[in-house]
Structure 1
Amino acid sequence: MTDFSPRHPPSRGLFDRHLPLRQAHAALRAQGVDPFNICFDTILSPTEARLAGRRVIMLGSNNYLGLTFDAEAVEAGVASLRTRGTGTTGSRIANGSFEAHLALERALARFYGRRHAMVFTTGYQANLGVLSSVVGRGDHLLLDRDSHASLYDGARLGHARVVRFRHNDPEHLRRRLARLEGAPGAKLIVVEGLYSMIGDVAPLREIAAVKREMGAYLLVDEAHSMGVLGARGRGLAEAAGVEADVDFVVGTFSKSLGAIGGFCVSDLDGFEVMRVTCRPYMFTASLPPAVAASTVAALGRMEAQPELRGRLMANARRLYHGLKALGFSVGPTPGPIVAVATPDPPSAVALWNQLLAQGVYLNLALPPATPNGQSLLRGSVTALHTEAQIDHVLAVFDAAATALGLLGNGAARLAARSA
């Protein structure tokens, strides 16, 4: 009989270094439902789902315009699925592009008024690809401290020197750039339009002024602000009136457009070289054509229905001001991301479980993944939430937090404010 036991057993397990995280995760599970392993029975609509046999209000989907069930987008995807199949089975550089990919890039370039557009399989890969391709060794990457993980990972992949500046602090950015004056290499500033944890926006007009003064380039990640901000939904750069100062716009289809994928648009000469230098583009299977087709349709719907942005922001204000009136600590401004800060992780986990038990699903965000080590409950409002749904969410928040001793008589305060 063959003996397969190792002659020299490993000194430790490969996952031993993650033991503290495993223990923390086990402690979360011990308090109730595992917040990082939710499995819905079915998604009923952009605003409701069934979970463990019960209907819940969806307040954690990033489905800002509610387009995941849009009839035109669904039909475009179904038609493409029937005629072009389920996937491409390879990258565009190896297996070629489908017409759907080119149609999507043309639609994005037209929408943003840019000469170039490049589509990636995910928004995460868009940031990996762009940051690792446009700057490299000898260059400098000026990165907002609270940037998304994909931006940090793209910075590491690209080998440029990373210089962090304080979150939303244009003056600190200017001082950082001033210290690099005369240094060789390009300087690329990277910010987000709307930050995904607490929903604050960048002071983009001031950052653009620093960019012009210091002779840098500027990239804006509009993942959460596309379809949300600006007269045409082009994001914060449009809303702030500084689109001409933004050299690269990156974003995703997995928020306002209800699909998956990422993109970059630009007017810079030489942009197309990224198709043969950008590893996350070159060595990843391309978007299924059905996804590309549904995204083109969703983009058209977003342009044709600007009233969706109005409804979204009205719903966001209703939830934001309602939570604030109840006594919750929320972000600096109302918007589609409404985050509630709690005193500590145990409080956040307990409140999250209470909300879920009463039919409200939203995101639990804990340190170290949060700004300044905050423990957050992160809600995402959609254009299709009803006033009744939002009011029900407020009532559930009030009851759950009061029962846990996190609030006093919040209902009385809300009633007084409404009066």
Structure 2
Amino acid sequence: MPFAATRPQLAHLTAVMDDLKARGTYFKLRVLDDEQGPVCHYDGREVINLASNNYLGLCNHPKLREAAIAATRKYGVGSGAVRTIAGTMRIHMELEEKIAAFKGVEACVVFQSGFSANAGTVSSILGKEDFILSDELNHASIIDGARLSKAKIKVFRHKDVAHAEELLKEVQNEPGRKLVITDGVFSMDGDIGPVGELADLCERYGAIMMVDDAHASGVLGRNGRGSVDHFHATSKVDVQVGTLSKAIGALGGYVCGSRDLIDFLYHRARPFLFSTSHPPSVAATCIAAFDLLESEPERIARLWDNTWYFKKQLTDAGFDVGGKTTPASETPITPIILGDGRRTMDFSRALFDQGVMATGIAFPTVSEGKARIRTIMTSEHTRPQIDRALDIIVSTAKTSGIL
């Protein structure tokens, strides 16, 4: 039976795709043929992988595999319900208790994704009489949550604490709560948010402080406790959001804070209320991952050694890795800024053909004129692999007229 063609009612979608193709920013999903590693196979081609969020190599760590298998054998493959009906298993509570203890807070709630953790939290704790002050480069999940809350949104210039204070002064006598929110690490540029300064600002003005630590979890702070710990601001941050999908190596997101905050989210956060809970294998995997953060700190040290080496080599070769036309990268996320979307996507495809998986990012994920190749270093890349990737990046850039 032949597939049905696009009906006229959806012709506008075809027009958008045709426009992306004309601009050179259309892409097809690359398919991973084996496990997520520093060298793996996409679309049948062996490549050095510089595109994964698997910062610490935990996606395929033997202890996490064992934990997942053991939990599946003991509890089955699914929970069978949402958390508030019949889907809260003891292992879900163990994971939340583990994260809360790791973060040094009273309580934690786990969501099905980092995106839903952000969007569900912002949209539930504020209403139309309230104000949100958000960094202009905050993650899309924060933006969506802010819109869903119907609160009044004010955007401060990127990492500009003085501008955030100006906005707080403007609304301090207005009725309603005030929430200041920032990424701990910004996902496209790899720079670190001014968490400590913003937390102090919130203290002075009585505002709620919230941090999205998705790309800081497992990367910054003691044993990967995140940017809040990195800035010694745990007692001043009311809402900490983290992810289980990046350095932790599995799937999901979480929110940490006071017991009252978490109990409120149990009752009001819509993604929590209306999504089936994690399979027990995922919860067990995450518990094992947090144990590894405590017992194998050398992984984080190795991640940073690789990161600084890779950045220096790219900079020495003449690439713009942030700091010229964009914020300077300070973490394992290292963008190669090219500006033009078509040129960026062509460069990404050329790198893949030569054996390097490095994703091109263009509008609307980033602003027009800010297209880049986003690279991410991990603890598991060896120096020969990094050097080989650098050779390919430099030689391909020269061939393409980028260098």
| TM class, shorter-length | over 0.9
The reply on whether 1:38 has 2:30 as its aligned counterpart is yes
What SS class does the counterpart of residue 42 from structure 1 fall into? Answer: coil
Runs of at least 5 residues in structure 2 that lack an aligned partner in the other structure = 1-6, 323-327
CA distance in 2, matches of 1:79, 1:237: 33
Of residues 75, 84, 92, the one that matches 1:84 is 75
**Distance change in 2, residues 1:24/1:388 (3 Å):** farther
**Distance change in 2, residues 1:270/1:131 (3 Å):** closer
Computed over aligned residues only, the root mean square deviation of the Cα atoms, in angstroms, reads 1.8
Aligned residue pair count: 393
CA distance in 1, matches of 2:242, 2:147: 19
CA distance in 1, matches of 2:311, 2:75: 44
Instruction: Work out whether residues 316 and 334 of structure 1, in 8 Å CA contact, stay in contact via their aligned partners in 2.
Output: no
Deviates more, 1:366-375 or 1:229-238: 366-375
CA distance in 2, matches of 1:298, 1:53: 30
Instruction: Work out whether residues 247 and 268 of structure 1, in 8 Å CA contact, stay in contact via their aligned partners in 2.
Output: no
Of residues 8, 11, 17, the one that matches 1:22 is 17
The reply on whether 1:370 has 2:394 as its aligned counterpart is no
Aligned residue type for 1:214: Y
Deviates more, 1:258-267 or 1:156-165: 156-165
CA distance in 2, matches of 1:259, 1:142: 31
What corresponds to 1:301 in structure 2?
292
Q: Percent identity?
A: 34
Of residues 171, 174, 178, the one that matches 2:165 is 174
1:237-273 per-position Cα deviation (integer Å, ceiling 9, x unaligned): 1111222111110011011100000100002635302
CA distance in 2, matches of 1:274, 1:383: 34
Return the offset for 1:41.
2.1
Of residues 200, 222, 227, the one that matches 2:213 is 222
> Could you tell me the TM-score, scaled by structure 2's length?
0.93
Aligned residue type for 2:384: A
Of residues 390, 393, 399, the one that matches 1:403 is 399
> Could you tell me the TM-score, scaled by structure 1's length?
0.90
CA distance in 2, matches of 1:28, 1:388: 36
What corresponds to 1:338 in structure 2?
334
1:190-221 per-position Cα deviation (integer Å, ceiling 9, x unaligned): 10110000101112222122111211010000
1:374-410 per-position Cα deviation (integer Å, ceiling 9, x unaligned): 1110011110100111111111111111001111xxx
Instruction: Work out whether residues 228 and 256 of structure 1, in 8 Å CA contact, stay in contact via their aligned partners in 2.
Output: yes
Instruction: Work out whether residues 95 and 283 of structure 2, in 8 Å CA contact, stay in contact via their aligned partners in 1.
Output: yes
Return the offset for 1:98.
0.8
Task: Show the 5 A alignment for 1:122-133.
Answer: 122-133=113-124
What corresponds to 2:242 in structure 1?
251
CA distance in 1, matches of 2:234, 2:264: 23
What corresponds to 1:347 in structure 2?
343
The reply on whether 1:158 has 2:149 as its aligned counterpart is yes
What SS class does the counterpart of residue 232 from structure 1 fall into? Answer: helix
Return the offset for 1:35.
3.8
Instruction: Work out whether residues 46 and 67 of structure 1, in 8 Å CA contact, stay in contact via their aligned partners in 2.
Output: no
Larger Rg belongs to? 1
What corresponds to 2:382 in structure 1?
386
Aligned residue type for 2:335: A
Of residues 178, 183, 199, the one that matches 1:192 is 183
Runs of at least 5 residues in structure 1 that lack an aligned partner in the other structure = 1-11, 408-419
Instruction: Work out whether residues 197 and 371 of structure 1, in 8 Å CA contact, stay in contact via their aligned partners in 2.
Output: no
